[in-house]
Structure 1
């Protein structure tokens, strides 16, 4: 019954009574399956029975004795044990050990100002991957919104630890001295008070586990966004240099063609190569804006902060030693944050399962007491009412059982997904690491030697323009292949960070800097125009 129906019935009940002063005090606590706390029909019928028993003398007891000071003191003591930060300090320690950056949860103006100052300090320098994660923890509105789930869970826990909220009804007619006080409460909430408290604590633990996993996921997303943007910038640098070399080579080829030293087809091939490098540069430029905007959004930066953002120019080179994949997978599965969150959700459902099953059967099980005073307390009566579902609560209990089985299956699937994700990410990381080192140590040096040999043969008129252009193109492709392998390694590395701290399973420290292509003297884009012209004069 909603509040409108309740007051309509109360007015009808008053109209049937004789004149006098009437006032009602009602204490009501909602049952577990009816949080709105509507009045049951059974309780209204109990009140009608009370009206027929008004003539019974009342014992000398006052309504305020219905209050339970001892229970209130016990509840207050229990609430004092609820941490004010909803357990965020423990979450921060776990996330910091996993990601290398400590999250913050500012809830006051002073805390937000301190977080902003820390973000500005990071933006004052060059931002690498770890600094980007710390910056997101300080600035991201999305992360702060997700952390507020901790505050919501804490509030629900406090409500579960406290006794049910009383509902007081005071009724007084326009004439007479009759005073009526009515008190009613959900008996289920009182009987299952300890169970409600346990369910509230389980909900708090589930919220903490979800927040921890969410922060680890956010750190991985920040790293991937950082990798995508820095890799796009490196690709643009590569093709800008290749374009400059192509333009210079085209000018030299034009001079050679005008002098009659090369054929038209060779000149056209040089022009085609220059046009291809322009197209590659344009495609690389098209990736800069979207990847930067995505990174800024993930970091949660304002427009003013985004202008200050200066990123590291290159991705670090992968480590020389391989990952200890087997030990990494075992550790990830034994200490997975995603698994911990799924297990906490299952425990939360298990803690509330019994209360919800009883509530599905009895519905509104409410106890009420009514007192009247006409100069002195003269009458009291008590009522007990409950709503009996026509299906005997079968639907409600089936829902509880299905939700519990659903959580169990979700946990099992999360375990399988986590295992597959960790194994596949470790395999991708190791493959990309080996490929990046192969390109760095083999492909790039060999392509440099081939290019130098082709230039010498071209100057000696032993080969034509086609072979020179092909060697130059292969030189550019080798640089791009190395860059792609490095970026793929760090993306897989970030995926692993969702589950475990990867640095603990690396046999050697990572290099802090790396090159996507060889030094400038061997760079496919590093050929000076004058050198190309010198080749032509040698014909």
Structure 2
């Protein structure tokens, strides 16, 4: 009677655990969990991103890239190409697919173990069949599935952050490349003017109308501008290659065309509470919050299973036959419980607790840093705009006035060539500085947006944070 009741209880436990697993099971999605990534990128950036899986996906992406490259490349076009063609970003999407596979695997019940034992000798035959199931794994499956789902949602936020980072880096690379090209264009014009002035001074020197000192000064200006132009051309080639790498282009696609200059300065729009915006919208903070939630759930699971590390139920069916022909078919079950008698799970509990508190402190640190980064990015954004606007509205107009007046005074023989050349050299420096100020503002604008929505931190920092949290989380969530 007691044995029959025990068998019924064991069967009921197995059935209950099996039914619980049906609700916990998940399946791999066709797009590898990309739906939140695509929608958030479209909302924040107004751009499309896609995971390239099949040759058809690759062909569609390549067709769109070449359509964009058919015209001079804009900043928005560069961002769109990077989101479709950057292989580092695609590797990040593959990592998201791995995270989804881990989630699906964690939601599946553990596979049972089947053993068969056959012993024969002296006319006797003994066959034993065993079906072994880890009941503790089955009972904790829904909890472990929820933990894995939370970690998967955190991985989706990290994929969004990687997309934002790729977009920001592509836009910065485009800004630097176009600014370098604009600098080259200006210096080419300046060198042509300096060359004409040097040639005129040389011819005047042949007639005695120009001194040797004036000829040397004019030649020095031409040489200096030529050297600066050579440096700018090297910088242009370097920045173009950096943009090419960011866009993932090669072959004939690398022969894209860039505009000759950066766009004009925009009017600044009023901003709200940048700290609050950063805390609510930054995807890296959202991802860390989800990871903290997963660690909290894992810590609770560790506390629940700290006294039992393994609970296995084994169904046993024997078939025996003796030499005299007698047969026996006994059946039963076996329960195996592993109890950590040396520390009663204290080490696992302490590890989970310290891991959780470490994640709490990292999240608090990131929240404090995010506030400061948002304020700094906003101040830089405003300051860079004021500097660039000052060059456009005050410095360059004054420089043009100085150049015109100096030429008039030189033609009227009121000033000598030295003052004219000095003004020309200062005019070159002011124009180059104005281009760099405008470049710095547009880069500050990218940095400001990254400080508000995420994607500004380097990939290595994010990877290090994930690596420090993931193994501990897995350890805390596992009941073994």
TM-score > 0.5, shorter chain as reference? yes
Aligned-partner SS, 1:171: strand
Displacement of 1:453: 0.8
Q: Does 1:161 align with 2:107?
A: yes
Partner of 2:150: 202
Match in the other structure for 1:454? 406
Q: Which residue of 1 aligns with 2:258?
A: 311
Residue 163 of structure 1, CA deviation: 1.3
Q: 1:397 aligns with which of 323, 329, 349?
A: 349
Matched, 1:104 2:50: yes
* Aligned residue pair count: 444
User: How do 1:67-86 residues align onto structure 2 when only pairs under 5 Å count?
Assistant: 75-76=21-22, 78-79=24-25, 83-86=29-32
* Structure 2 alignment gaps of length 5 or more: 321-326, 455-480
SS at match of 2:330: strand
TM-score (norm 1): 0.76
Alpha-carbon distance in structure 1 between the residues aligned to 2:200 and 2:306: 87
Q: Is the 8 A contact 1:362 1:389 kept in 2?
A: no
Using the TM superposition, give the Cα deviation of residue 91 of structure 1 relative to its aligned residue in structure 2, in angstroms.
Answer: 2.0
Deviations 1:55-107 (A, max 9, x none): xx999x99xx7996786576455546775435422221111121221211132
1:220 aligns with 2:172: no
Q: Quote the residue 1:119 is aligned against.
A: 65
Structure 2 length-normalised TM: 0.85
Q: 1:292 aligns with which of 226, 237, 240?
A: 240
2 CA distance for matches of 1:397 and 1:249? Answer: 81
* Correspondences of 1:262-281 after superposition (within 5 Å): 262-281=210-229
State the superposition RMSD in angstroms: 2.9
Deviation at 1:312, TM superposition (A): 2.8
Contact 2:201 2:215 survives alignment (8 Å) = yes
Cα distance change of structure 1 residues 233 and 81 upon mapping to structure 2, 3 Å threshold: same
| Offset, 1:281 | 0.8
Give, in whole Å, the separation in 1 of the partners of 2:48 and 2:452.
16
Counterpart position of 1:180? 128
Equivalent position of 1:514 in the other structure: none
- Residue-by-residue CA offset, 1:283-321 (whole Å, 9 max, x unaligned): 1122122222221221122334223x222332222213x
Residues 274 and 336 of structure 1: is their aligned pair in 2 closer, same or farther, counting only changes over 3 Å? same
Maintained 8 Å contact 1:181/1:370: yes
Determine which of 291, 311, 319 is the counterpart of 1:345. Answer: 291
How many angstroms does 1:113 deviate by? 2.1
1:253 has 2:201 as partner: yes
For the pair 1:422 / 2:422, whether they are aligned, the reply is no
- Asked if the contact 1:202/1:344 (under 8 Å) is kept, the reply is yes
In structure 1, the gaps of 5 or more residues are 1-56, 503-539
Q: Check 1:80–1:160 CA distance in 2 against 1; reply closer, same or farther (3 A cut).
A: closer
Q: In the TM superposition, what is the alpha-carbon distance from 1:174 to its structure 2 partner?
A: 6.8
Q: Within 2, Cα distance between the matches of 1:486 and 1:195?
A: 54
Deviation digits for residues 472-506 of structure 1 (CA, Å, limit 9, x no counterpart):
1121122112111111111111112224479xxxx
Could you tell me whether the CA contact under 8 Å between 1:425 and 1:496 is conserved in 2?
yes
**Counterpart check, 1:486 vs 2:459:** no
Offset, 1:368: 2.9
* Cα distance in structure 2, aligned partners of 1:482 and 1:163: 65
Q: Which has the larger radius of gyration?
A: 1
Partner Cα separation in structure 2 for residue 116 and residue 381 of structure 1: 61
Measured after TM superposition, the shift of residue 159 of structure 1 is: 2.0
CA distances 1:481-539 after superposition (whole Å, capped 9, x unpaired):
2111111111111112224479xxxxxxxxxxxxxxxxxxxxxxxxxxxxxxxxxxxxx
Task: Tell me if the contact between 2:135 and 2:311 (Cα under 8 Å) persists in the aligned partners.
Answer: yes
SS of the counterpart of 2:110?
Answer: coil
Query: Greater relative contact order (Cα 8 A, min sep 6): structure 1 or 2?
Result: 1
Q: Is the 8 A contact 1:338 1:418 kept in 2?
A: no
Aligned partners of 2:314 and 2:134: how far apart in 1? 9
Larger displacement relative to structure 2 (291-300 or 195-204): 291-300
SS in 2 for 1:85: coil
1:121, 1:501 → 2: CA distance? 29
Q: Secondary structure at the match of 1:168?
A: strand
